[in-house]
Structure 1
Amino acid sequence: MHLRLIVPCDRTDLIVKALVGDDRATNIVVLPGAAKRPAGDVVHCDVTREATSDILAQLKADGIYEDGAVALSAVDASPSRNAWETEQAAPGAPDDAVVWDAVVDQGYSEARGSWAFYAFLTLATVIAAVAVITDSAILVVGAMVVGPEFGVVAALALGIALRKGGLTWRALTLLAKGFLLAIALTVVAALVARAVGWIDASDVTAARPLTGFIWRPDKWSAVVAVLAGCAGVLSQTAGRSNALVGVFISVTTVPAAGDLALSLAVWAPQQIGGSAAQLGINLAGMTCAGVATLVLQRVLWAWLTKRRTPTAAAGLAADPRG
């Protein structure tokens, strides 16, 4: 991980000395007086992923979070010898390390909401509705991939696991508002399509061998939701974002929302309850699995870091955002 720090001038020597003395840090560069807002010295360094939480905890204890600035970014490749030696100084595997500050910051970012979130969720729900009408498994997969909801579900799980009430409420509110808006707009689109004769109730109630599972949840719906929740949270905490595509394709949240909207528009009451249940099972399953995964990671990582250094646990200090 690459760290860019803005350090008050009176603390630069202390911070730099600590970094130089840590075998898990390298490529340390100091630019005296380069920062203007906030004012201070700029310090660049690369640290192993396993050591990032330790070093961030010390920076937090030294007041850099309040009086300076910290920015993190992943280093995709560092083929130099000194980087290899630095990595060898840190016990464990990089993918097993959790940079909690980065995970929490990402959670707040996901729960903030934006017009793009509402737009993608609505488009995905409309695509899912078309998939129901045409009984197209390909369109179901497309709707799953377009849907942006998992990041917010992960933020909700993070808020519950770390007892951050503000984050939990933001994520829960965004999920509720997002799905309500997406379903409402899809209902309107379906009513227009019904009015012009493009669809009728038989398109929803007829046998759908490829998409009928959407409104018929069973025990496997819960199993897949739990497994997807675990995989999604692990992919985010381990920095493996490419694995999220598989999670998107696994869960039936957006397809269920599309089926629910279409069933409301053409009034197919026998499918409304099933679609709503499928949506609820998937959201609840992913959230519960995400909470369990995060709690387990937190306990295991705290135990591992406690064996290495007494400052590791400080990385989970209270966040000022709630």
Structure 2
Amino acid sequence: MIVQLRICVPGELSGVVVESCTNHVGVSEVALAKSTSVMPPGDVIEVLLARESVEGLVEKLHVLDVQQRGSISVIAPDLVLSDRSDRAEAAAPGEGADAVIWDEVSRQTGEDSRLTWSFLTFMVLATQLAAIGIVTDSTIAIVGAMAVGPEFGPLAALAVALVRRQRRLGRDAALALGVGFPVAMLAAALGAWLSVPLGLFPPDALDRGSAVEFIYHPGPYSLIVAVLAGTAGMLSVISRRSAALIGVFISVTTVPAAGYVAVALVLGEYQKAAGSALQLFLNLLGIVVAAVGVLLFYRLVTKRLSPDAALQLRRKAPRSRR
């Protein structure tokens, strides 16, 4: 898999950047356009390289403070026909499908973890669907609620924040979860409270739902399934296989457990509410722990720039004019 980097840098920095790109393993092409950037003024460098080599090169560019004095854009072309690129891919260590671009992972999870009106809306809709599925004993509605729920984004972002020590990302993710779940549960509780006097479902509806007993009966498999789902979800984020996330969404009992807590509290089924709350906690914990484990594993196997090499790059880079 070939990736294109577009690098915008001040003219005095382009020389060392071009040298770093040219000497980097897995690079097939380097193009320099002098004085073509208007804002900010400087040069534009385009690089074609194997995806598995991107993280190492981006790390070098960070050492040179390119992201502060210019910009780095990562683009994935749909098709690159080049024997030279094929040879670069063969020379690069590892496989493109397993390569991690950490800035890409942080940006992707960060975009999915913010507390927005759309996030709250999806959380409320998903929890309402789960509540309806619970009182009607409909597994179809519950599975639909699992697919609609947006909670994996903040959970993945929380894992990234813990591994990369990004406090702002962690705060955003915790805020989205800390506000999203209570708001959605309150909306579901309100819906259930209004539905009982309207006769939409009987007060003993929770005693008739045999298909949803698993929600308030947490056990060892609750945590095991959450760990497996968290592992699959984080792998799908890293490898950019979004189709696998659907399977993750419909395998964990986060949103259904939240809906069950809301309905059970309204109907006075406090023991079942406690069981479903425990189910919710185990799922959230298992997903985050598994995602952190995946990221730590990839961090260990990813080759990092040595301190000596980083020092040499800093010495080569001219200081910014202030």
TM-score, scaled relative to structure 1: 0.89
Cα deviation, residue 105, structure 1 = 2.1
Cα drift, residue 148 of structure 1: 0.8
Q: How many residues end up aligned between the 2 structures? A: 308
In structure 2, C-alpha distance between the alignment counterparts of 1:210 and 1:191, rounded to whole Å:
22
Query: Cα offset for 1:154?
Result: 0.8
Identity rate, percent? 36
Deviation of the 1:56 alpha carbon: 0.5
Q: Which position in structure 1 is the counterpart of 2:31?
A: 29
* 1:89-238 equivalent positions in 2, closer than 5 A: 89-206=91-208, 208-238=209-239
Cα-to-partner distance string for 1:193-245 (whole Å, 9 max, x where unaligned): 22322123222222x23222111111100100011111111211222222111
Distance change (3 Å), C-alpha of 1:214 and 1:48: same
SS for the counterpart of 1:29 is strand
Counterpart CA distance in 2 for 1:310 and 1:11 is 17
Does the CA-based 8 Å contact 2:56-2:305 persist in structure 1? no
* Deviation by residue 1:137-160 (Cα, 9 ceiling, x = unmatched): 222211111111111101111111
In structure 2, the partner of 1:82 is 84
The alpha-carbon deviation at position 41 of structure 1 amounts to 2.1
Query: Could you report, residue by residue, the CA deviation over 1:284-303 in whole angstroms, capped at 9, with x for unpaired residues?
Result: 1111111122112211223x
Contact preservation (8 Å) 1:157, 1:290: yes
Cα separation, 1, equivalents of 2:194 and 2:232: 39
Rounded Cα–Cα distance in structure 2 between residues aligned with 1:209 and 1:172: 34
Q: Residue type of the partner of 2:237? A: Q
Moved more, 164-173 or 136-145: 164-173
Contact 1:38/1:69, CA 8 A, preserved across alignment: no
> Residues 28 and 306 from structure 1, CA distance in 2 versus in 1: closer, same or farther, beyond 3 angstroms?
closer
Q: What is the CA distance between 1:182 and its match in structure 2?
A: 0.7
Q: Distance in 2 between matches of 1:197 and 1:134?
A: 13
1:80 to 1:265, Cα distance in 2 relative to 1, 3 A: farther
Deviation of 1:96 after TM superposition, in Å, equals: 2.0
Residue 282 of structure 2 corresponds to which residue in structure 1?
281
Flag the 1:98–1:80 CA change in 2: closer, same or farther, 3 A: same
> Per-residue CA shift, 1:57-113, capped at 9, x if unaligned?
111111211110112233344343232122112021112221112112223323322
Query: Is the Cα–Cα contact under 8 Å of residues 158 and 169 in structure 2 kept in the other structure?
Result: yes
SS in 2 for 1:112: coil
- Change in 2 beyond 3 A, CA 1:37/1:268: farther
C-alpha distance in structure 2 between counterparts of 1:49 and 1:162, whole Å: 21
CA distance in 1, matches of 2:278, 2:173: 20
Cα separation, 1, equivalents of 2:153 and 2:247: 14
Judge conservation of contact 2:236–2:244 (CA < 8 Å) in 1: yes
Residue in 1 that maps onto 2:6 = 4
Which deviates more, 23-32 or 116-125?
Answer: 23-32
Give 1:306 deviation, angstroms.
6.5
SS at match of 2:77: coil
- Partners in 2 of 1:212 and 1:78 — Cα distance? 52
- Which residue identity does 2:159 align to in structure 1? A
Q: Secondary structure at the match of 1:227?
A: helix
**Native 8 Å contact 2:26 2:50 kept in 1:** yes
Larger displacement relative to structure 2 (131-140 or 150-159): 131-140
Residue 66 of structure 1 aligns with which residue? 68
CA distance in 2, matches of 1:153, 1:31: 42
Distance 1:80 1:165, change over 3 A: same
* Counterparts of 1:284 and 1:177, CA distance in 2: 17
- 25-34 or 5-14: which moved more? 25-34
SS at match of 1:45: strand
RMSD value over aligned CA atoms? 2.1
Return the alpha-carbon distance in structure 1 between the equivalents of residues 45 and 206 of structure 2: 61
Mark the runs of 5 or more structure 1 residues left unpaired by the alignment.
Answer: 315-322
Q: Quick one: structure 1 residues 39 and 188, their matched pair in 2 at CA, closer, same or farther if it must change by over 3 Å?
A: farther
2:60/2:305 contact within 8 Å kept: no
Structure 2 SS opposite 1:22:
coil
- Displacement of 1:23: 4.7
Which runs of 5 or more residues in structure 2 are unaligned?
Answer: 314-322
| Residue in structure 2 matching 1:49, options 48, 51, 59 | 51
Q: Quick one: distance in 2 between partners of 1:205 and 1:2?
A: 58
Aligned partner of residue 195 in structure 1, secondary structure? coil
Match of 2:320 in 1: none
Matching residue of 2:257: 256
Q: Please state how far the C-alpha of 1:46 moved relative to its aligned partner.
A: 2.3
